[in-house]
Amino acid sequence: MLLMLMESVRNELQFAAKSTGQSEFIKAINALNEAISLTESNQTEQASEKIAVAISASTTPAQEAWQVLAKNGLL
């Protein structure tokens, strides 16, 4: 079940990477790929760390967008 969830998230990240060209999404995909491999190897602690990296990388573009919107008085 966990692997299916991570694969679904990876698919969404791939869509985001193709749609925006943001390199952070590629970083998130790579980290998630590692997390999937680690989970399959039952190395859950290391997988958790890679998931954290993926989350951090994928939220960076959102933070950048937030800053632009705030700077332009849209938030």
Name the DSSP class of 73. Answer: T
Q: What's residue 75's pLDDT?
A: 84
Residue 47, pLDDT above cutoff 90: yes
* DSSP per position, 31-69: HHHHHHHHHHTT-HHHHHHHHHHHHHHHHHHHHHHHHHH
Residue 46, pLDDT above cutoff 90: yes
pLDDT, tens only, 1-15: 999 999 999 999 999
Q: What's residue 40's pLDDT?
A: 97
Q: What's residue 51's pLDDT?
A: 97
**C-alpha span between 5 and 61 (Å, rounded):** 22
Give the pTM: 0.86
pLDDT, tens only, 13-23: 999 999 999 99
